[in-house]
Structure 1
Amino acid sequence: MSATPQSVRDKNPPTKPRLAPWQNALCGATAGVVSRFVIAPLDVIKIRFQLQTDVIGMTGRVDASQSKYRGVFQSCGRILHEEGYRGLWKGNLSAEYLYLSYGAVQFYAYYEFEGLINRAKRKLDLPLPTEMLAGALAGSAATLTTYPFDLLRTRFAVQGTKGPYTGLVQAVRQIHAAEGIKGFYRGVWPSVLQMMPQMGIVFACYAGFRRALERFELRGIDNFISGGLAGMIGKAAVMPFDVVRKRLQVQGPERNSYVTGHVPSYPRGILACARKIVHHEGYLALYKGLVPAILKSGPSSAVTFLVVGLCERAMS
């Protein structure tokens, strides 16, 4: 059985039984680990773009030569030169924990919410958008559950060769000592507000693309294509929230010790932070890192849905 949303399964009843909730979680966790390793370098580059505070005008970057990271290939080369190949996988340990746990919670929650929504539709006779609602709720649940790993991933991705963090355990201890429990949840609400529409769009688009590709009988490749297209659309739609989230995640006593240079102090509020970014850097600053983000989200989502489909067929 492939990772097909309920509306598609209703039209084409599966020949294999639906998986148990723990199996959905295992499929999501496996997909998360695999997809994270594939897209790690693009994630590092995207985060560094987002944390640069150079001004962007409507016609492009102002004095681009002053920016440390100016493009995907230039940034990749610079990281390799200054930090070695390991620099492209900075924060990967915490990110693997993030993707493993996020994938598990997301796909567990998605199918549970999908069932609840479909039962509500039948009982109340309401035209609810099943895939979008289930995806939005699952994304929110997964984000809240795994957020500390997301923050750690961001901070590791932008630190230099000398720290300030030497390892995952040491980072947890240092953040807790200097910032308290709240330190692990800096930027959590922009993250939730980002992931609700993003995952709703992703699952809805995935279902639509799957239906369009069904007649071609691509034997699993339709999962890959549909997931990739859905991931790119979903990411582009919520990019400003992602930029605000990254700026808030690196606040704290170490904010000026990262390789992107000086990071301004931002207010905790989402709108206040966004206004300050726009005031100093222009409106297009809310889309910093868009190219590597799309290049990352497409393959990540494609691999995720492909691996979930393969795992589900193996377990059915």
Structure 2
Amino acid sequence: MQTEARVGVVVEGGGQRSLSSVHGGTRNYSTEQQELQQGPQIGTVPNLLAGGVAGAVSKTCTAPLARLTILFQVQGMHSDVATLSKTGIWREVYRILNEEGVRAFWRGNMVTIIHRLPYSSISFYAYEHYKNLLRMVPGLDKRQDNAGADVLLRLLGGGLAGITAATITYPLDLVRTRLAAQTKHVYYRGMSHALYAICRDEGVRGLYKGLGATLLGVGPSIAISFSVYDTLKSHWRSVRPQDSPVLVSLACGSLSGIASSTATFPLDLVRRRKQLEGAGGRACVYNSGLLGTFQHIFRTEGFRGLYRGILPEYYKVVPSVGIVFMTYETLKAYLSGPGANDQC
């Protein structure tokens, strides 16, 4: 979920025009509309398709870094914390190659790809629905006369859409985490087996472990991405207006992703660990709620424990934004052929 909110600066999580437009910021509505008319325009279905494929390509290319992030995040749950300082990115890469093989870097990636399209579709339609509802709220119904209300409307709509999409598709996110976290001991043979085993051993509620941390991180993640992206982009354009819009979006999107990752990473770490509670019949480590889990990690692993795995996450941000942006724009141009605009 968190990646969708952070990298959503450009088109991640579906490439929707609605979600990426959240970063309109302080610009007036007419200016934003003129910018949206630039470049090829496509209908809703092709737009979702292009965004879904772009997200899948980006996830596949950065899957090794994503798995490394998860493996580092869950270290300390069943390990001796004193030995964790010996682990490093290259040591873990070598271990995976030696013990699991090259294909293991993409473990759980198929679930991520399957997760992409429903998440994108739900986000897109939920965003439009929430925007219509929010326009009924006094103060948010005159977009052209109030740029601040327009920003708030899109920010709230994007946050609510993210919460809705994350809740509905959360079981796939949990399964992906459990598949990616498997090393020597294989508890789940694939997506369907994991869904069946979790329901059998932990009940339906087991599919929603860690949902609280996920939903709690949606708002801050979108807000940080929005504010950092818009501030950087406005400043860049004022200083270097001649620079390519693609370069500006890529650079500002990457920096906003890094800022959002840094601020919300502890929540993402807690989410991953809660998702793995009871996996394969193992004993639960955190028997308290969200706050108690934070306290347990801080007490046993220190402040650094809350940022375990942040380096591969940083390494993932820039290529993820770049790949999804270029893939989306390429597909958008391809799908905007004769008659494409009539497919809405």
Is TM > 0.5 for Structure 1 vs Structure 2?
yes
Give CA deviations for 1:158-193 in whole Å, capped at 9, x if unaligned.
112551111111111111111111111000010111
Residue aligning to 1:192: 215
Matched, 1:155 2:175: no
Query: Which secondary structure does the structure 1 equivalent of 2:76 belong to?
Result: coil
Summarize the Cα distance change of 1:137–1:200 in structure 2 as closer, same or farther, 3 Å threshold.
farther
Summarize the Cα distance change of 1:315–1:133 in structure 2 as closer, same or farther, 3 Å threshold.
farther
CA distance in 1, matches of 2:331, 2:227: 21
Summarize the Cα distance change of 1:255–1:276 in structure 2 as closer, same or farther, 3 Å threshold.
farther
AA in 2 matched with 1:247:
R
Q: How does 1:289-304 map to 2 (within 5 A)?
A: 289-304=309-324
Query: Which secondary structure does the structure 2 equivalent of 1:205 belong to?
Result: helix
Residue aligning to 1:281: 301
Query: With structure 1 as the length reference, what TM-score do the two structures score?
Result: 0.81
Aligned pair count reads: 302
Q: How does 1:1-316 map to 2 (within 5 A)?
A: 3=17, 5=21, 7=24, 8=27, 10-12=30-32, 13=34, 14-15=36-37, 20-53=43-76, 63=82, 66-67=83-84, 70-110=87-127, 113=130, 120=140, 122=142, 127-128=148-149, 129-130=151-152, 131-214=154-237, 215-218=241-244, 220-252=246-278, 254=280, 256=282, 265-315=285-335
AA in 2 matched with 1:292:
P
Query: With structure 2 as the length reference, what TM-score do the two structures score?
Result: 0.75
- What fraction of aligned residue pairs are identical, expressed as a percent? 30
AA in 1 matched with 2:293:
C
CA distance in 2, matches of 1:20, 1:158: 38
CA distance in 1, matches of 2:242, 2:287: 51
Displacement, 1:113?
A: 4.6
AA in 2 matched with 1:95:
T
Mapped contact 1:51–1:247 kept (Cα < 8 A): yes
Question: What are structure 2's unaligned runs of at least 5 residues?
Answer: 1-10, 12-16, 337-344
Query: Which secondary structure does the structure 2 equivalent of 1:267 belong to?
Result: coil
Query: Which secondary structure does the structure 2 equivalent of 1:30 belong to?
Result: helix
Question: What are structure 1's unaligned runs of at least 5 residues?
Answer: 56-60, 257-262
Summarize the Cα distance change of 1:162–1:280 in structure 2 as closer, same or farther, 3 Å threshold.
closer
Mapped contact 1:223–1:309 kept (Cα < 8 A): no
CA RMSD of aligned residues (A): 3.2
Summarize the Cα distance change of 1:182–1:203 in structure 2 as closer, same or farther, 3 Å threshold.
same
Summarize the Cα distance change of 1:144–1:295 in structure 2 as closer, same or farther, 3 Å threshold.
same
Displacement, 1:118?
A: 6.9
Mapped contact 1:187–1:248 kept (Cα < 8 A): yes
AA in 2 matched with 1:218:
S
Summarize the Cα distance change of 1:230–1:5 in structure 2 as closer, same or farther, 3 Å threshold.
same
CA distance in 2, matches of 1:10, 1:116: 22
Give CA deviations for 1:194-213 in whole Å, capped at 9, x if unaligned.
12211232244334444445
Mapped contact 2:71–2:181 kept (Cα < 8 A): yes
CA distance in 2, matches of 1:200, 1:111: 18
Give CA deviations for 1:96-149 in whole Å, capped at 9, x if unaligned.
122333333334444555576578251795834345434322321221121111
CA distance in 1, matches of 2:325, 2:183: 34
CA distance in 2, matches of 1:267, 1:255: 15
Query: Which secondary structure does the structure 2 equivalent of 1:5 belong to?
Result: helix
Mapped contact 2:201–2:281 kept (Cα < 8 A): no
